[in-house]
Amino acid sequence: MRLIGVATQYRAGEGPMARRFLGLLEPYLEALRSQGLAYVLLPPQPQEALERILPHLDGLLLPGGGDVDPALYGEEPHPRLGEVSPERDAHEVFLARHAAERGLPTLGVCRGVQAMNVALGGTLYQDLEAQGLGRVQHHQKSPPPALGHGVRLVGESPLRGLFPERFRVNSYHHQGLKALGRGLRPAALAPDGLVEAVVLEGHPLFLGVQWHPELLPEHWPLFGLLQAPHG
């Protein structure tokens, strides 16, 4: 059984002593279990500690969450920028770079694909509507399992073994990929041209998607791609 490291999400704690909670929303774990994968949570910690842990992993999952700090790609914050966490950003950027360099199978979801892009030198739209991409509703108001806009596959990618050329996705983001990072290429596009999925050329599996497959059981085979062998 392959072991997948999962970067933790942040949640506000409760009570007078609580500052924050490092954990993971249950649908991610359900999706991993459905594909026969074991998992271990990876909270932020010193890089020396992560370097001891990462060689024992068979894959990596970067989940959704809040906004990525635009300082990481050389921009000033937009008025519509949400809350950022420099600690989480540094953690996930390190994990993504390590995975890209070492050939570790990696899946990024929503914020996860954004962190992957920034880790490889890419940039983000800080707010899609405010920056000219308001034709498609990327921040869907209907809860799952409702689907939002469509996407179209482009180029060769592992998505082609799982989805038809065009299909609909759920969509709960106000940021998005702008300039792609080094070696990344589009794997799916929204009707307004926004990149909805990327892959890294020459990597066993470095795949990021902008939608939330963990909330759609019919999309859980995406997590099964983490079974991919690596160097």
Q: Which of 92, 149, 214, 219 is catalytic?
A: 214
Tally of structural domains, the chain: 1
Q: Which of 92, 110, 203, 219 is catalytic?
A: 110
* Four-CA torsion 175, 180, 186, 189, nearest 10 degrees: 30
Q: What's the whole-model pTM score?
A: 0.95
pLDDT at residue 54 is higher than 50 = yes
The two tokens of residue 221 are 């085979």
pLDDT score for 145:
80
Give φ, ψ of 41 to 5 degrees.
-80, 140
The two tokens of residue 32 are 């991993």
Encode pLDDT of 122-142 as tens digits. Answer: 999 999 999 999 899 999 988
Encode pLDDT of 176-200 as tens digits. Answer: 999 999 999 999 999 999 999 999 9
Best CA proximity match to 224, nearest among 105, 142, 138, 121: 105
SS3 for 9-52 is: EEECCCCCCCCCEEECCHHHHHHHHHCCCEEEEECCCCHHHHHH
The Cβ of residue 148 has, within 10 Å, a number of other Cβ atoms equal to 19
Percentage of the residues of the chain whose pLDDT score is greater than 90: 89
**Any idea what DSSP says for residue 128?**
T
The two tokens of residue 103 are 């050939």
Q: CB neighbours of 200 closer than 8 A, spacing ≥ 6?
A: 100, 120, 183, 184, 206
Mark whether 214 is an active-site residue. yes
The two tokens of residue 219 are 């999309």
Mark whether 212 is an active-site residue. yes
Q: How confident is the model at residue 143 (pLDDT cuts 50, 70, 90)?
A: confident
CATH code at 136?
Answer: 3.40.50.880
The two tokens of residue 84 are 């950022």
Best CA proximity match to 95, nearest among 49, 62, 126, 142: 62
What is the extent of the structural domain holding 35? 3-227
